[in-house]
Amino acid sequence: MKEIEIQALKNEHPLLNNLISLQEVFWVNPNIEQFQTAIKKSPLTQEDVKDAEVRLQRFAPYIKKAFPETEKSDGIIESPLVKIPSMKKSLERTYDQQIFGELLLKCDSHLPISGSIKARGGIYEVLKTAESLALQHGMLTIDEDYSILHSDKFRHFFSQFSIAVGSTGNLGLSIGIISAQLGFKVTVHMSADAKQWKKDLLRSKQVEVIEYEADYSKAVEEGRLQAANNQTCHFIDDENSHDLFLGYAVAASRLSKQLEALQVKVDQEHPLFVYLPCGVGGGPGGVAFGLKLMFQDNVHCFFAEPTHSPCMLLGLMTGLHDQISVQDVGIDNITAADGLAVGRASGFVGKTIEPFLSGNYTVSDEQLYLLLKELLDTENIFLEPSALAGMIGPVKLCNENTDYILKHNLTEKMQNATHIIWGTGGSMVPKEEMELYIQTGSTLASRN
Ligand SMILES: *Cc1c(COP(=O)(O)O)cnc(C)c1O
């Protein structure tokens, strides 16, 4: 991008200066619309989400058999929703900022099979692909018990087909594990940010892992090119896939039941705020879309990104979506939050979610490590750095400098508010890696 173009963008959006100088920013989306208006323009609908939900139900007997850890939940891949009152107190003390309402953590870190939010969308798209192939070839009808897929007959059938994906790590992990279990040949194109243990784990499951020295966008591009030359290969396109998005969106109806079980109300007098770590956008976008369908104007969704990788915020703020990358404006896309190390956001997600989204903010790597340590100390829950990006959201929102609450007439309702931090990953991180993260958090904390 030319210097003169960047200057013009800065003039139009002064916050861009703060973004470029890597300061933490909080951006309120001026293009949010009432739910009823926004949904009319949406390329995806409630029916699409319902279809995904019913498909996952059809696969539950298979999942239960193939992944015994899902026995308790009858083959439904879901995570706990827990209250974190000690963390709330600690945040209030650390940041000298009252948080109005209750704080909950959605533990997608503890989703079965792959221990991150990618166990929603990633697994869903592979299952959908398997179902289409089996239906097309007369191997299966939709009324059958899908546990028959857990057999040599089906593994042999699926071995004629392949699945490919580009990833910073966790998407590759989810897709590699489920594809290999079904019997597909599977190739994961990993960006330079991907952790060694994720590559090792996949290789141990006979997944082909191709490594790149470049970032996520390059790994996706290469994967897409290689898959295009192969008729029997399905490429899971993290930048454009509607199926991934819908797989994530199913989270909302499940969450709604969990909120009821905890006797948490969401209505006009009881606003719900949700904070979602954002990489390319599919995970947080899909979840936020599902939540808006469920709770409409009573839910307020915010995306959180590292200060070094604010691709979605950049795309939304400038209106350029996927036509601009963080590197275009001189930001390096180098962050400890490997799951969020994306320089160019999904244009599909940005445009789809824009009228529904309340805002975005950025958080420094240092902050992520401190929050990681603080959550462990107060609630004994371990998350990976990426998954902590949501945690600072309520502090930033409740800060009087943020005019969102005023603008939406929420001041009076804030004592009835619920804040959900979406904890997007962490339970599969090996012990030694975990110790390093905690050590970094401790060192930073002792300096403050
Ligand atoms: C992938 C990922 C995200 C963000 O999902 P996107 O679809 O890339 O936006 C957040 N947290 C973790 C831990 C992830 O792995």
Contacts of residues 237-242 at CB distance under 8 Å and 24 or more positions apart, as own/partner, are 238/165, 238/166, 238/167, 238/171, 238/280, 238/282, 238/346, 239/280, 239/322, 239/346, 239/347, 239/348, 240/346, 240/347, 240/348, 241/121, 241/125, 241/282, 242/43, 242/44, 242/48, 242/348
Please state whether the predicted TM-score (pTM) of the whole model is above 0.95: yes
CA 148–ligand 1 middle distance (angstroms): 32
CA 336–ligand 1 middle distance (angstroms): 13
> Is there a shared CATH topology between the 3-114+251-447 domain and the 118-244 domain?
yes
Q: Is 284 in the pocket of ligand 1 (CB under 6 A)?
A: yes
Q: Is 393 in the pocket of ligand 1 (CB under 6 A)?
A: no
pLDDT given for residue 428 in this prediction = 95
CA 419–ligand 1 middle distance (angstroms): 19
Q: Whose CA is nearest to atom 8 of ligand 1?
A: 279
CA 380–ligand 1 middle distance (angstroms): 22
Tokens of 192: 């330079």
CA 171–ligand 1 middle distance (angstroms): 8
51-73 confidence digits (pLDDT tens): 999 999 999 999 999 999 999 99
pLDDT given for residue 448 in this prediction = 75
Q: Whose CA is nearest to atom 5 of ligand 1?
A: 283
CA atoms of 180 and 77, how far apart (whole Å): 18
365-386 confidence digits (pLDDT tens): 999 999 999 999 999 999 999 9
Q: Is 339 in the pocket of ligand 1 (CB under 6 A)?
A: yes
Q: Is 343 in the pocket of ligand 1 (CB under 6 A)?
A: no
Is the CATH number 3.40.50.1100 carried by domain 3-114+251-447?
yes
CB atoms near residue 237 (< 10 Å): 21
Q: Tell me which of 79, 105, 109, 117 to substitute to probe ligand 1's pocket, judged by most ligand atoms within 8 Å of the beta carbon.
A: 117
CA atoms of 179 and 202, how far apart (whole Å): 11
* Protein fold of 118-244: Rossmann fold (3.40.50)
pLDDT given for residue 245 in this prediction = 98
CB 99 within 8 A of CB 398: yes
pLDDT given for residue 120 in this prediction = 98
Q: Is 335 in the pocket of ligand 1 (CB under 6 A)?
A: no
pLDDT given for residue 2 in this prediction = 86
Per-domain residue ranges of the chain: 3-114+251-447, 118-244
CB 370 within 8 A of CB 61: no
- Non-local CB neighbours of 267 within 8 Å, separated by 6+ positions: 298
pLDDT given for residue 215 in this prediction = 87
| Element at 30 (helix H, strand E) | none
Q: Is 306 in the pocket of ligand 1 (CB under 6 A)?
A: no
Q: With CA atoms as reference, report the closest residue to 402 among 97, 149, 129.
A: 97
Q: Which residues of the chain have pLDDT under 70?
A: 401
CA 213–ligand 1 middle distance (angstroms): 20
Beta strands in 126-277 (DSSP E): 162-167, 185-190, 208-211, 233-236, 272-277
